[in-house]
Amino acid sequence: MSCTVYLDHNATSPLRPKARDGVIAALDLVGNPSSVHQLGRQALRVLEDAREQVRVAVNAPKTAHVIFTSGGTEANTLALSGTEAVRILVGATEHASVLAARSDLECIPVDVYGRVDLGHLQSMLSEGDGHAVVSVMMANNETGVLQNIEDVVHLAHRFGARVHTDAVQAFGKVEVDFLALGIDMLSVSAHKIGGPLGVGALISTQDVQLTPVNRGGGQEGGMRGGTQNVSGIAGFGIAAKLATSDLADMTHIKVLRNQLEAGVKEIAVDAIVIAEAVDRLPNTSFLAMPGVLSETQVMAFDLAGICVSAGSACGSGKSKSSAVLAAMKMPEDIAKTALRVSLGPNNTTADIESFLSVYKDLYVRQMQKRNAA
């Protein structure tokens, strides 16, 4: 059966029609944006227009550097591998691209909800020597938990440390305000906001000094070698502009998310809505159905034409349970039953009802097996 209900927007959100139009229009451009002739200048104009659209969408200062990358992973890698900082402190529930950026990372513990322990961070900053970068994601890609970035920034800056935040999941779902947060670096990705796959950006203040990870022809202000993906970047700029203007849609999406969670708890008294008690993205639910493995649930929903996931798309195909839940000290027998549901602008009440119908059938079958055992 084909996927008729798409509930995996945290993995990739469908391409916006206007972003698609922008990609197609840019594909007709002949020039290389590094060429000085008129066709090259036309391509460069598209590139710079998109750069400005992304900068404005996150309210970064006019002097900020917007470095286009192949996605959020490369942006995170550049921020942490490209820094000359002696120490890199990262939240224990960060995306895999952050945790793999360097071999000498220091992990900041989190509480049972996945929020960084600010007291522990203060101790780490006060005890260490040398310039540091603190990297804490704005919103977790699995649980949807929102971090208090302002407090992280205030604390880190007291000790002279810079702050990077992975805003890949937050962008387009909650307000992302570079200036208000006071951060030094921020990563975003196009395909999470209805832009094309394979495009992202690292945005940094003017005084941040980085060493390029991809060396080559000096593109992106010398920070990323290689001819830019002009068509993808054009679509990214359009999607970024639309994502900020459509934030009001998240109110409706949160209502649907709450309906889904209420329905799950009515069906299964032992179901767990992970991190329900703290601020989360309005579109994200991470649900545990005790006794039913995540993979079993994903397959059951897929057979019913409903697309969900067992967690991060970057960890799909792996039998190991969520590293995020392990960092949150979630018991293994619960962690391996977690299912992520992430909604988007096109989801409806009918989609929630379809999900709950399949969920109920799966849960009832599980209860019957338990009773028969």
CA 312, 315, 321, 327 dihedral sign is negative
Cβ-proximal residues to 369 (8 Å cutoff; 6+ apart), any chain: none
Packed helices 118-127 and 149-158: angle between N→C axes, nearest 10 degrees: 20
DSSP string of 284-333, one letter each residue: EEEEE-TTS-HHHHHHHHHHTTEE-BSS-GGGTT--SPPHHHHHTT--HH
Residue from 132, 187, 180 nearest 157 by CA: 132
What whole-number distance in Å separates Cα of residue 75 and Cα of residue 81?
A: 10
What whole-number distance in Å separates Cα of residue 256 and Cα of residue 260?
A: 6
Q: How is residue 135 written in tokens?
A: 């990297």
Q: State which H helix or E strand residue 23 sits in.
A: helix 17-27
Count of Cβ atoms closer than 10 Å to residue 372 Cβ: 6
Q: State which H helix or E strand residue 154 sits in.
A: helix 149-158
Query: Residue holding tokens 């079958």?
Result: 365
Query: Residue holding tokens 């840019």?
Result: 26
Residue 314 falls in the annotated catalytic set: yes
Q: How is residue 22 written in tokens?
A: 């922008």
Enzyme catalytic residues? 314
